[in-house]
């Protein structure tokens, strides 16, 4: 018997039992819908995160920092180093001298924290202090709302000036007053406000809660040393990131006794980490959806078993007229496969609906650009999966049917 | 010889007990014979019919159908034998209720692997031969008992089998319709078909040329009927 005959037979069977067929493929439909919907959100999430990541320099950025004080020894135990190494301004100068592929370098110093009190008269807000250089503004894609950002002169003079984050300025001065030129107290020192940054949200939106002071002021007036905690190198062309990272490594090696222990992380590497997290999310979501696919499959098997029992005499007739085992097997297999395939295709449509619906919901709740993404591969995967379910859960009932003795099957009514 | 059976036995295991349905049957049927197999229920008559029709295989003995040893056939070969050598007509018609007369008649041809066009032509011709040209597109539940059995006869003949095997073909029909069906068999016989009729009704068996009586799993008598004598069979 030709494949065409099996398919048309399976289809006509599905047509004659419409309600039952619809009910049994609903399981597959929902499962595939869930898989497609969740996976499309996973890809959408990745794109949204990458989009946000690009806003702060993205893949053309290289982060580097001195080695941490602790390291894992050969037995896997954490040991404190007996030597200290750290980045200084010398490293930045060396990097700038070594290559012209760098657009700018932003240094960064921690002055402890997490939060400092920034006080004006009786009003005090807690916020993070960022100690950096003029280039920070571009490195973070920040914009200035009032006044100006830090200048090179501020750095040379270890000037006691600061730039307030949007929210800090709101909290200390309110909407009516211009903070520029006024004095605030950070810790025990007085600083003159030279500017306010524009509103910017990124994940937990700490840009608006931070206060920026010159890095040299932090080094010389607060910390009393010339350490940099990390530096951010912005490469002109993202293509050159790996090459520049290598140059930075060489610079550190030349300038430091333990230069090879410095951490150098490219935006690429950060992206990889993001991808890993998304992959884990997708696997978890996929497993949950996979369980519903299993349930759907069992539903299909149930229906097929009923269908085989119900059509015992039909199987007997077909066998008496010359149907081989394989003919009967295929008749029922095709029925299960067609049911699952239909469920899969309808499920993809449902999944597209779920994905775009949830994406719109997420967009309305955040300011992210969030679009569910469904790839052709994913659709292929969904269809493949539902066919596999049909194959796995259809084979037992079909096998049962094909093994019936024609004499016994004919005797049943 | 179309059918050659020697020492056919069939045993079923029911629980702990072995039921011996056939206890050594020797039976030969020539081409264009018209044979009735008779016997009360439980005599082994149905078992013998199943074995003749390749629906079941004997426990022991040899069965040669149209030159091929059925007792040594695989499942697929049995299916092919049923498809090519046997045309079944059942007491309860055994038509597919959701398919029309034409599709029912086409079924053996589908499993024979014929093309759609050839199938259609042959099925139409077969339905024509049993006088159902006008009712081809009707489903079994839209047909009378006699018409259903005609469809079954058309289906039995459509693939030109070596034998037509009819199991109580008039059992579910009133006497008038039954007589019509028996006339149809008569006609088939005259056209050269080999017909085996399984029945427990003597007057139905009388249509055949030869009656084989089964009793307790063995052949009790094997004789020429009056019709046989009239037709000059020896």
On whether the CB atoms of residues A32 and A348 are closer than 8 A, the answer is yes
pLDDT confidence of residue A205: 53
Q: What are A10-13's contacts with CB under 8 Å, separation 24+?
A: A10/A331, A10/A332, A10/A334, A10/A335, A10/A337, A10/A338, A11/A338, A12/B98, A13/A307, A13/A335
- pLDDT at residue A413 is higher than 60: no
What are phi and psi for residue A179, nearest 5 degrees? -70, -20
Chain A residue with CA closest to B97: the answer is A314
Q: B79, B91, B93, B109: which to substitute to probe chain A, counting the most A Cβ within 10 Å? A: B79
- Among A50-54, A96-100, A104-108, whose mean pLDDT is lowest? A50-54
Radius of gyration of chain B (CA): 18
Note the pLDDT tens digit of each residue in A274-312. 888 888 888 888 888 788 888 888 888 888 888 888 888
pLDDT confidence of residue A373: 76
- pLDDT at residue A231 is higher than 90: no
What confidence category does residue A162 fall into, taking pLDDT thresholds of 50, 70 and 90? Answer: very high
pLDDT confidence of residue A102: 86
Note the pLDDT tens digit of each residue in A53-73. 776 666 788 888 888 777 777
In this structure, chain A runs to a length of 413
- Taking the Cβ of residue A2 and every Cβ of chain B, the question of whether any pair is shorter than 8 Å is answered with yes
- Among A71-80, A227-236, B95-104, whose mean pLDDT is lowest? A71-80
Q: Distance (Å, rounded) from C-alpha B40 to C-alpha B234?
A: 26
pTM for the structure as a whole: 0.67
- Taking the Cβ of residue A323 and every Cβ of chain B, the question of whether any pair is shorter than 8 Å is answered with yes
Instruction: Select the more confidently predicted residue: A149 or A261.
Output: A149
Query: Is the Cβ pair B82, A405 closer than 8 Å?
Result: no
3-state secondary structure chain B: CCEEEEEEEEEEEECCEEEEEEEEEEEEECCCCEEEEECCCCCCHHHHHHHHCCCCCCCEEEEEECCEEHHHCCHHHHHHHHHHCEEEECCCCCCCCCCCHHHHHHHHHHHHCCCHHHHHHHHHHHHHHCCCHHHCCCCHHHCCHHHHHHHHHHHHHCCCCCEEEEECCCCCCCHHHHHHHHHHHHHHHHCCCEEEEEECCHHHHCCCCEEEEEECCEEEEEEECHHHHHCCCC
Q: What percent of chain A has pLDDT over 70?
A: 95
Note the pLDDT tens digit of each residue in A8-66. 777 777 887 788 888 888 888 888 888 888 888 888 887 887 777 776 666 788 888 88
Q: Which of A135-149, A188-202, B39-53 has the highest mean pLDDT?
A: B39-53
| Pairing outcome for strands B60-65 and A123-132 | unpaired
pLDDT confidence of residue B133: 92
Query: Is the Cβ pair A320, B88 closer than 8 Å?
Result: yes
- Taking the Cβ of residue B160 and every Cβ of chain A, the question of whether any pair is shorter than 8 Å is answered with no
In which region does residue A71 sit, left (phi positive, over 0), alpha (psi from -120 to 50) or beta (all else)? Answer: beta
pLDDT confidence of residue A202: 65
On whether the CB atoms of residues A179 and A167 are closer than 8 A, the answer is no
- Taking the Cβ of residue A319 and every Cβ of chain B, the question of whether any pair is shorter than 8 Å is answered with yes
In this structure, chain B runs to a length of 234
Low-confidence spans in chain B with pLDDT less than 50: none
On whether the CB atoms of residues A170 and A209 are closer than 8 A, the answer is no
pLDDT confidence of residue A23: 83
- Complex prediction ipTM: 0.93
Note the pLDDT tens digit of each residue in A326-380. 888 888 888 888 888 888 889 889 988 888 888 888 878 776 777 777 778 878 8
- Among A5, A317, A319, whose Cβ lies nearest the Cβ of B110? A5
Query: Is the Cβ pair A407, B50 closer than 8 Å?
Result: yes
pLDDT confidence of residue A204: 54
User: What angle (nearest 5°) sits at the alpha carbon of residue A361, between those of residues A358 and A365?
Assistant: 140
User: What angle (nearest 5°) sits at the alpha carbon of residue A121, between those of residues A116 and A123?
Assistant: 55
- Taking the Cβ of residue A324 and every Cβ of chain B, the question of whether any pair is shorter than 8 Å is answered with yes
- Taking the Cβ of residue B59 and every Cβ of chain A, the question of whether any pair is shorter than 8 Å is answered with no
pLDDT confidence of residue A156: 87
- Among B50, B80, B92, whose Cβ lies nearest the Cβ of A322? B80
pLDDT confidence of residue B84: 93
Note the pLDDT tens digit of each residue in A110-124. 776 667 788 888 888
- Taking the Cβ of residue B122 and every Cβ of chain A, the question of whether any pair is shorter than 8 Å is answered with no
Q: Distance (Å, rounded) from C-alpha A72 to C-alpha A84?
A: 16
């Amino acid at each position: 018997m030709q494949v065409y005959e099996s398919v048309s037979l399976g289809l006509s069977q599905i047509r004659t039992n419409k309600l039952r067929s619809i009910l049994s493929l609903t399981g597959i439909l929902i499962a595939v819908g869930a898989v497609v919907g969740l996976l499309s959100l996973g890809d959408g999430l990745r794109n949204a995160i990458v989009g946000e990541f690009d806003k702060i320099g993205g893949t053309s950025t290289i982060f580097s920092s001195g080695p941490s004080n602790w390291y894992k020894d050969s037995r896997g135990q954490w040991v404190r180093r007996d030597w200290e190494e750290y980045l200084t301004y010398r490293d930045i100068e060396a990097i700038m001298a070594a290559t012209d592929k760098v657009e700018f370098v932003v240094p960064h110093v921690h002055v402890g924290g997490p939060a400092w009190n920034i006080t004006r008269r009786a009003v005090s807000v807690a916020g993070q202090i960022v100690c950096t250089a003029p280039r920070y503004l571009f490195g973070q894609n920040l914009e200035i709302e009032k006044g100006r950002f830090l200048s090179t002169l501020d750095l040379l003079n270890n000037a006691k000036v600061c730039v307030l984050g949007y929210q800090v300025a709101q909290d200390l001065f309110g909407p009516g007053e211009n903070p520029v030129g006024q004095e605030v107290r950070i810790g025990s020192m007085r600083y003159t406000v030279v500017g306010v940054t524009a509103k910017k949200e990124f994940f937990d939106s700490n840009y608006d809660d931070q206060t920026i002071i010159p890095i040299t002021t932090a080094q010389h007036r607060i910390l009393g040393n010339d350490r940099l905690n990390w530096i951010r190198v912005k490469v002109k062309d993202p293509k050159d990131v790996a090459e520049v990272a290598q140059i930075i490594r060489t610079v550190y090696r030349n300038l430091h006794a333990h230069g090879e222990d410095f951490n150098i992380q490219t935006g690429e590497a950060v992206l990889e980490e993001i991808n890993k997290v998304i992959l884990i999310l997708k696997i978890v979501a996929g497993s949950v959806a996979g369980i519903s696919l299993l349930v759907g499959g069992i539903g299909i098997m149930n229906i097929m078993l009923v269908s085989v029992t119900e059509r015992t005499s039909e199987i007997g007739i077909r066998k008496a007229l010359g149907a081989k085992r394989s003919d009967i097997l295929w008749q029922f297999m095709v029925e299960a496969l067609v049911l699952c395939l239909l469920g899969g295709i309808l499920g993809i449509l449902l999944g597209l609906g779920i994905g775009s619906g949830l994406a719109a919901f997420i967009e309305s709740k955040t300011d992210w650009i969030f679009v569910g993404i469904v790839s052709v591969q994913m659709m292929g995967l969904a269809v493949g999966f539902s066919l596999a379910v049909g194959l796995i859960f259809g084979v037992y009932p079909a096998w049962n049917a094909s093994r019936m003795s024609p004499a016994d099957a004919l005797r049943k009514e | 010889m179309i059918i050659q059976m020697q020492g056919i036995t069939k045993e079923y295991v029911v629980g702990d007990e072995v039921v011996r349905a056939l206890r050594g049957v020797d039976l030969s049927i020539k081409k264009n014979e018209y044979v009735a197999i008779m016997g009360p229920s439980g005599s082994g008559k149905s078992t013998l019919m199943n074995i003749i029709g390749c629906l079941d295989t004997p426990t022991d003995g040899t069965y040669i159908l149209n030159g091929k040893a059925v007792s040594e056939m695989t499942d697929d070969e049995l299916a092919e034998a049923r498809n090519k050598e046997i045309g079944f007509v059942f007491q309860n018609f055994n038509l597919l209720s959701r398919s029309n007369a034409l599709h029912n008649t086409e079924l053996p041809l589908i499993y024979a692997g014929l093309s759609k066009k050839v199938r259609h032509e042959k099925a139409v011709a077969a339905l024509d031969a049993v006088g159902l040209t006008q009712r081809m597109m009707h489903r079994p539940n839209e047909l009378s008992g006699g018409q259903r059995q005609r469809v079954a006869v058309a289906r039995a003949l459509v693939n030109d089998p070596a034998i037509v095997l009819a199991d109580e073909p008039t059992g579910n029909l009133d006497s008038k319709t039954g007589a019509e069906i028996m006339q149809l068999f008569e006609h088939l016989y005259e056209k050269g078909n080999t017909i085996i009729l399984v029945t427990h009704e003597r007057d139905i068996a009388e249509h055949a040329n030869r009656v084989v009586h089964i009793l307790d799993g063995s052949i009790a008598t094997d004789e020429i009927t009056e019709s046989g004598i009239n037709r000059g069979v020896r």
